[in-house]
Structure 1
Amino acid sequence: MVLLVVAGTVVGARLLGRTADVTDQLADRLQPARTQTYRLQAALVSQESGVRGYAITADRQFLEPYARGKRDEARAAAQLRALIGDQPRLMADLKAVQREAADWRRAYADPLVDEVTPGEPRAIAEANAERGKEVFDQIRTVWAAQNADLAQAVADGKAELDSSRTVRTVILGAMVAVFLLAGVALAFLVRALVARPLEALRVSSRQVARGDFDHVITVDGPADLRAVAADVEGMRQQIVEELGASRRQRDALTQQADELDAQAVELRRSNAELEQFAYVASHDLQEPLRKVASFCQLLEKRYADTLDDRAKQYIDFAVDGAKRMQVLINDLLTFSRVGRLNDARVPVDLDQALTKALANLDTSVRDTGALIERPEGLPEIVGDPTLLTMLWQNLVGNAVKFHHPERTPRIQITCEEDESSGTWSFSVTDNGIGIPEEFAEKVFVIFQRLHGRDAYGGTGIGLALCKKIVEHHGGHIWIDSGYAGGARLCFTLPSDADADADPDVAADTAEDTVSRTEEKALT
């Protein structure tokens, strides 16, 4: 059977190759040759018409078809030579046509053109016209032979193609029949040697699949089938081992889940105590600070005449420190309450939030002469209006505060929607003093300052608060380090009204920030 397959394959390949050659001959050479033959004949007819028209009218414009026909004749003949150069009979036809055409031009067309005086039409002598017709009819006779030979070549090619296809079909049919017979024989053989052992393996495997993992799989039969049965048995043993490990892991996970639930309850209790502590601290810490500031001011007022400049300076230091401590406590309370006390989830028009923030910053904007460029029609998202107003106020306020002393502050706010990620992308760009690239992450840490208090006021909580607000709403905030004309802060907010913010991320960020702050304070 192998020899039959090999022989059939070789013969089939040769037939396919011959079929492809004949097809290429018909499609790529003979059919284009017929087209070029028609063009050649049309070019000769165009020459004959042009000569006759010029002879009758003496108008030189009739010579244009004659000249164009000669050019077309040359191109068509060149194409034909390239297509049928390997077929002597067709090449002989082409040479005969060209020879008759040259004779017609030499004996009739060119002399007739030379006899005509441009602009003086005259009738063509009947004898001359008859002679021209006879010469051109000779060309037509050669045409007929050329067309007949081309048609015969095409017919021969089609006949050979049909013959090759018929033989190919017969051989392929015979091969298919042989394959079918061999397949039937193999089927009986496989059924006798393999099917019964496979059925036994299937029954054993199904028994294991139904839950009887202690059932041992053994099969008699060919060596390959026994090897498969051994592999299946190995898989059964591995499944039994992994099932036991999975059960043990499930018990451990159940225990861990119970422990996590208990820790979550403890964490909620701890958070509640932390909020209570923050509330108490806001009163218990601020009241002594107010008293310190008040009594220092009374001391200065009452004993102003007896205090020297150094004592007055000390009192000013104490009052200023108490006030800064009050501001710091208020900022810390605001920072700790983001996502805890302020957790409204309502549609917020960011346009209105920005307008309110700019109104709060009106004094500083006027004092610095800042120019603010804002987009028209900021989007509406779901969030907390107070926190989002605070976000705009801190970002724009920083851009105003950290302006370059030699430039008028210019602040540009942009907004773009990213449909692929379902977010709005915002940026606040200024032409101020900028933020060095090495501090692009540190500025979002609470109490992280890049400048002394003498140069720029504040507590160093602003950008940390912005980060917490953005992450509370499910967004992300960063500094564009590639911008060199000042500072550019970018942030995203979800555009989907049903998008859930991730308060855990904000809480983790806050706890991490506060822990780093405590470490700084201890050192």
Structure 2
Amino acid sequence: MPIGAAPDTRSGISRWTTRRWLRVGVTITSVVLLLLGGAGLWALQRSGDLTDEVVEVRSPALFNAVRLEAALVNQETGVRGYGLSGEREFLLPYTQGLDEERTALRTLDGLTRESGTAQRDLAVVRERIEAWQQKVARPVADADPAAAVATAAERAADGKVLFDAVRKALDDQQEHLIAARARAGEQLDSAQTLRTWVFAAITAVIVAVAFIVFAALRRGVTDPLGGIAQAARDVSRGRFDRAVPASGPADLQQLARDVDAMRRRLVEELERSEQDRQLLDQQAADLRRSNAELEQFAYVASHDLQEPLRKISSFTQLLQRRYGDKLDERADQYIAFAVDGANRMQILINDLLAFSRVGRVDSDLSEVDLEESFKGALDSLSVALEETGARVEHDPLPTITGSPHQLGLLWQNLLSNALKFRAPDRPPHIKVTVAQEGEQWRFTVRDNGIGIAPEFREKVFIIFQRLHTRDAYPGTGIGLAMCKKAVEFHGGTIHVDPVEGDGAAISFTLPDQGPVRADEIGAPTSP
């Protein structure tokens, strides 16, 4: 359960998720559409069957019944003509009518096979046709021309009665076929009307389902999501008291509760952040007070402490000059110790003052031509460079934004270290390389001196950290610590690079866009 969320006490349908609602809705809609689709297919099939019955059965049956009647009329005409004239050419309609009769009877037999009434009508027609042909038509047609007239005259009365019976059977058959076709047409009209209504119902159901789905999505998904989104926008504008409404399916309600829990957590974090900010303001005030006290201490150290120290050094040196030949060798040694200690104390105080001023006193920023800054450092070390026979090379140096004084001290300390820790058997060779890496410059100061052991590469930047005795290499151990502080004030980094062969390589970076002020990142710039 999310932090701050209330337990879910709902039950039943109110706990359905969006997925479950969609699954149930799709299932119901699919069932309804399948039922309507089945009804539509049945209506189409019914309409098609009735259309086939009218077009392929009822109408052809009626047509062939009429065709049969015409064939029999042709037969009766041919027989009567032959019986009156005795000329054989009058039998041509009779012989043609026989062929038409057989074809029509065969077709009617196939078309009326499924109808009992039509089959009975067809049997009556066959029976009466057979009776007329057997009694009248065939005897007259089979007689020779001389006997045909007499045969026809003899059977004329029976022929009329029998052919009238044939006509009556044909009329009954056609009447029944017309009625059957009319019924089939009515059924076809009804089926087409039903089909139209079924498809209209399908269309109406589809429209209704679409409307229901749209309304359900709007009420169940769109509106709840819109409420959550609006509440989230209000919170993003700073209205942290704006509660996130929980509505809709269970998963969207859970989402709303999670977002509201996040809002409450954000409110708590902001309250803590405000408390932290107040604490930070108090610490910043304490830091400003501490810096003021530090400046006061620096003033005292530079004036009040150095003044008595200068007196001690001056009077000790005066004592050494005036009474050096009157004291014993041990007294001269003690006086020398006192003079050396006072001098070293003065150097240490001056170095401490310079270290404390880095990033605090000398923090005026301007464009610095590192070529000029590097040249100034060489001028300050000109005596040491000449005495040691050192050779210095450097790549073209860029112009950056920074503190001219601190960058000058940075070059001076790095070059001074390279000269101080030189190899005893060869003159110093110092090379400065420059490379641009993205938005910063990387500088490497490489020398051919005694080098720095790997285990001391991090310790050399700690204040007062010395790797050698004062007798071997003089100094206070503040130089590289001051370099680190100056580089970090400008937003860069400094470290000792591993090298192959003799010497040491110290790399540092400076931003191309200028320094990052310590007060901008909330870190103090002085101890």
Say whether the 8 Å CA contact 1:471–1:502 is kept in structure 2: no
Say whether the 8 Å CA contact 1:468–1:506 is kept in structure 2: no
1:394-409 mapped onto 2 (5 Å cutoff): 394-409=413-428
TM-score by length of 1: 0.56
CA apart distance, 1:208: 5.5
1:337-356 mapped onto 2 (5 Å cutoff): 337-356=357-376
The RMSD of aligned alpha carbons is 2.8
Q: Report the equivalent of 2:433.
A: 414
Q: Report the equivalent of 1:152.
A: none
Q: Report the equivalent of 2:354.
A: 334
Structure 1 CA distance for aligned equivalents of residues 206 and 287 of structure 2 = 70
- 1:503 equivalent to 2:522? Answer no
The partner residue of 1:217 within 238, 242, 247 is 247
SS at match of 2:486: helix
Structure 2 CA distance for aligned equivalents of residues 290 and 506 of structure 1 = 40
Where does the alignment leave 5 or more consecutive residues of structure 1 unmatched?
2-183, 219-228, 515-523
CA apart distance, 1:263: 2.1
CA apart distance, 1:213: 4.7
Structure 2 CA distance for aligned equivalents of residues 300 and 194 of structure 1 = 108
Say whether the 8 Å CA contact 1:427–1:491 is kept in structure 2: yes
The partner residue of 1:451 within 468, 482, 487 is 468
Q: 1:476 to 1:248 in 2, by over 3 A?
A: closer
Q: Report the equivalent of 1:442.
A: 459
1:7-46 deviations in Å (ceiling 9; x for gaps): xxxxxxxxxxxxxxxxxxxxxxxxxxxxxxxxxxxxxxxx
Structure 2 CA distance for aligned equivalents of residues 246 and 305 of structure 1 = 82
Q: 1:343 to 1:188 in 2, by over 3 A?
A: same
TM-score by length of 2: 0.55
1:5-16 mapped onto 2 (5 Å cutoff): none
1:251-280 deviations in Å (ceiling 9; x for gaps): 232232222222212211221121111111
Structure 2 CA distance for aligned equivalents of residues 347 and 237 of structure 1 = 55
SS at match of 2:425: coil
Q: Report the equivalent of 2:191.
A: none
CA apart distance, 1:315: 0.9
Structure 2 CA distance for aligned equivalents of residues 194 and 509 of structure 1 = 64
Greater relative CO (CA pairs within 8 A, separation 6+): 2
1:286-341 deviations in Å (ceiling 9; x for gaps): 11211211222222233323321111111111110111010000000001001111
Where does the alignment leave 5 or more consecutive residues of structure 2 unmatched?
1-29, 31-202, 232-241
Larger Rg: 2
Say whether the 8 Å CA contact 1:472–1:505 is kept in structure 2: no
Say whether the 8 Å CA contact 1:213–1:236 is kept in structure 2: no
CA apart distance, 1:242: 3.2
Q: Report the equivalent of 2:505.
A: 488
Q: 1:454 to 1:507 in 2, by over 3 A?
A: farther
Say whether the 8 Å CA contact 1:431–1:485 is kept in structure 2: yes
Q: Report the equivalent of 2:128.
A: none
Structure 1 CA distance for aligned equivalents of residues 480 and 269 of structure 2 = 44
Structure 2 CA distance for aligned equivalents of residues 187 and 309 of structure 1 = 121
CA apart distance, 1:504: 4.8
The partner residue of 2:388 within 363, 368, 376 is 368
1:103-142 mapped onto 2 (5 Å cutoff): none
Q: 1:210 to 1:466 in 2, by over 3 A?
A: closer
1:78-477 mapped onto 2 (5 Å cutoff): 191=210, 194-201=213-220, 202-207=222-227, 210-211=230-231, 213=243, 217=247, 229-375=249-395, 377-418=396-437, 421-477=438-494
SS at match of 2:364: coil
Say whether the 8 Å CA contact 1:477–1:492 is kept in structure 2: yes
Residue type of the partner of 1:407?
A: R
Structure 2 CA distance for aligned equivalents of residues 392 and 381 of structure 1 = 14
Q: 1:234 to 1:286 in 2, by over 3 A?
A: same
Q: 1:471 to 1:490 in 2, by over 3 A?
A: same
How much identity, in percent, do the aligned residues show?
48
CA apart distance, 1:454: 0.2
